[in-house]
């Protein structure tokens, strides 16, 4: 936790918040090892960042006197269309995306996405929020990404994706094309990443009809949790 995040519900007065939940209390107490008068980096979710001075500290709550004068880091100009990863990879991937500053995420179905993946409790609103918060805390950011769950591939690509792409450049990672992925770009993109094994030819064809260009990442085949930070680091 490189920043202590709080919401409007944590305010007890205009400039004071109380941290009372077990997870944040445990981390601030035992990792930061705070004492009265210490200053922590803090942020209001979906708002500014700043500092918080510890003004009360006991076993049930920590009160911080806050000053929010800083803007969070700029988001990456990326809209990510990601085939739903297997559950154990999903939580790490959500945290990574939040840490790196991706703010628009579409988790979509695909031929190679197992139906059972959609039954995971990790797709509840609370679980998604929890992992996004962990990523924001790591990356010292306050703005929550938007996560959309899309269970039907063809209607999404044909009816919704064109307006999502807008004027951005649309790229799809695909191991069976010769065009290399661009590097160090300075423009907005919509980036599609398939499941392990990649999108099937029918899905690639639909994406290309929607304006996507297939790009190759090299000879190595990577897991989703590896390809996401690799691609974003290569692009930006």
List the structure tokens of 222. 């990577």
Rounded to an integer, what distance in angstroms lies between the CA atom of residue 82 and that of residue 44?
28
List the structure tokens of 121. 């409790």
Of 91, 105, 94, 98, the C-alpha closest to 73 is 98
Query: For 78-235, CATH number?
Result: 3.40.1280.10
Burial (Cβ within 10 Å: 0-12, 13-18, ≥19) of residue 138: middle
Is the pLDDT score of 213 beyond 90? yes
**Least reliable range by pLDDT among 28-32, 111-115, 138-142:** 28-32
Say if domain 4-70 classifies as CATH 2.40.240.20: yes
Rounded to an integer, what distance in angstroms lies between the CA atom of residue 148 and that of residue 4?
26
- Residue 111 pLDDT class (50, 70, 90 cuts): very high
Q: What is the CA radius of gyration of the chain?
A: 20
pLDDT above 90: percentage of residues in the chain: 91
Is the pLDDT score of 63 beyond 90? yes
- Name, in order, each residue with C-beta under 8 angstroms of 163's C-beta and a sequence gap of 6 or more: none
Write the pLDDT tens digit of every residue in 125-142.
999 999 999 999 999 999
As annotated, the residues of the chain forming the CATH 2.40.240.20 domain(s) are 4-70
As annotated, the residues of the chain forming the CATH 3.40.1280.10 domain(s) are 78-235
Number of residues assigned to the chain: 236
Rounded to an integer, what distance in angstroms lies between the CA atom of residue 131 and that of residue 148?
15
Its pTM stands at: 0.94
User: Which pLDDT does position 219 carry in this prediction?
Assistant: 79
Residue 113 contacts residue 199 (beta carbons within 8 Å): no
What mean pLDDT comes out for the span 202-231? 92
Rounded to an integer, what distance in angstroms lies between the CA atom of residue 77 and that of residue 97?
12
Rounded to an integer, what distance in angstroms lies between the CA atom of residue 89 and that of residue 96?
11
Rounded to an integer, what distance in angstroms lies between the CA atom of residue 91 and that of residue 98?
11
- Residue 28 pLDDT class (50, 70, 90 cuts): very high
């Amino acid at each position: 936790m490189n920043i202590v995040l709080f919401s409007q519900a944590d305010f007890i007065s205009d400039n004071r918040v109380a941290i009372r939940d077990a997870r944040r209390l445990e981390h601030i107490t035992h990792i930061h090892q705070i004492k009265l008068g210490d200053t922590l980096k803090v942020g209001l979710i979906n708002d500014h960042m700043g500092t918080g001075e510890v003004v009360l500290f006991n076993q049930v709550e920590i009160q911080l006197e806050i000053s929010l004068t800083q803007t969070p880091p700029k988001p990456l100009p990326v809209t990510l269309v990601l085939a739903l990863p297997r559950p154990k990879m999903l939580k790490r991937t959500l945290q990574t995306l939040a840490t790196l500053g991706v703010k628009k995420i579409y988790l979509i179905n695909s031929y190679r996405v197992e139906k059972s993946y959609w039954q995971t409790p990790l797709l509840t609103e609370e679980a998604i929020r929890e992992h996004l918060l962990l990523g924001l805390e790591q990356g010292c950011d306050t703005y929550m990404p938007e996560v959309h769950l899309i269970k039907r591939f063809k209607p999404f690509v044909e009816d919704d994706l064109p307006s999502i792409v807008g004027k951005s450049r649309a790229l799809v990672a695909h191991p069976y094309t010769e065009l290399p992925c661009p590097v160090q770009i300075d423009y907005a993109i919509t980036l599609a990443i398939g499941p392990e094994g990649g999108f099937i030819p029918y899905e690639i064809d639909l994406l290309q009809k929607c304006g996507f260009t297939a790009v190759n990442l090299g000879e190595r085949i990577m897991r989703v949790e590896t390809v996401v930070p690799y691609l974003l680091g290569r692009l930006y």
